[in-house]
Amino acid sequence: MNSFQNIGRMLLPVAVLAAGLGFWELVVRVNDIQPYVLPSPYVVFQTLVGDWPVLSESLGVTLLTTLEGFIAAAVGGVALALLFNQSKWLEYSLFPYAVILQVTPVIAIAPLLLIYLPQQTAVIVCAWIVGFFPVLSNTTLGLNSVDRNLSGLFQLYGASKLQTLRYLKLPAALPYILGGLRIAGGLSLIGAVVAEIAAGTAGAGSGLAFRIAESGYRLNIPRMFAALLLLSVAGIVIYGLLALVSHLVLRRWHESALGKEN
């Protein structure tokens, strides 16, 4: 039964995708819609193959920016959450500013950063800003959600703050940290795309966001759809990889990753 359910879970999304693409292709062909208005899936695929040298280079630029922003968000968010856990006064002082940074639209911050920072640095900072808060808030929540009885037991046996952090708080917070990283991965990609659109610089270092804007200006709609497709696939792959890492880390001991009993 479980095998049948697993096969169904994999096949149903594929069937829905195939039906959607088929309907899209049919609508375009029946109504004779021109590619500069709405390209068919076949035309988008042709464009993806034909423009692959340009699009793949831009994809590499965007993914590198996303990776750099994600690493900065992961390291900074976890490190600051650890400091917050050790000093409540520090948390009370700085956490409101982290919230302000999160709720401020990155599209409004990007032009300002491009004035004061080099272009590539500003793009990375935008990716970091968007991905930073989920890691910080989830890690802080996890560190503060330790079972009180276990915490009292550690105090009873005279464990130091470092020992309590290492053997109790960090293992308890690990599912929260990994959940924050899964969110931050996709958000870092969004931040990178928004910053690239704000930068709007052509050349060899142009990311996919610039290719989308460029295609819109030139009414090269098939290339725009191809670039959007690559961005979507990149986001899915990033989330899938982070979900896989989370599953591998938690599968032997945490309820969220353990298989359900029959």
- The CATH number linked to 116 is 1.10.3720.10
Closest CA to 195 of 244, 103, 99, 128: 128
pLDDT tens track for 18-54: 999 999 999 999 998 888 888 999 999 999 999 999 9
- Residue 37 covered by a domain: no
- Residue 32 covered by a domain: no
- Residue 13 covered by a domain: no
Is 252 strand, coil or helix? coil
- Residue 132 covered by a domain: yes
- Residue 25 covered by a domain: no
Residue 199 has a pLDDT of 78
Distance between CA atoms of residues 186 and 164, nearest Å? 32
Residue 108 has a pLDDT of 85
Contact 210, 201 (CB under 8 A): yes
Distances (CA, A) of 148 to 47, 143, 184, 255: 58, 12, 29, 19
Is 38 strand, coil or helix? coil
Residue 204 has a pLDDT of 46
- Residue 40 covered by a domain: no
The distance from CA 166 to its chain's CA centroid, rounded to whole angstroms, is 27
- Residue 11 covered by a domain: no
Pair of tokens at residue 8: 């169904």
Total domains, the chain: 1
The predicted model scores a pTM of 0.87
- Domain residue limits at 246: 46-250
Q: Which residue ranges in the chain fall short of pLDDT 50?
A: 204, 260-262
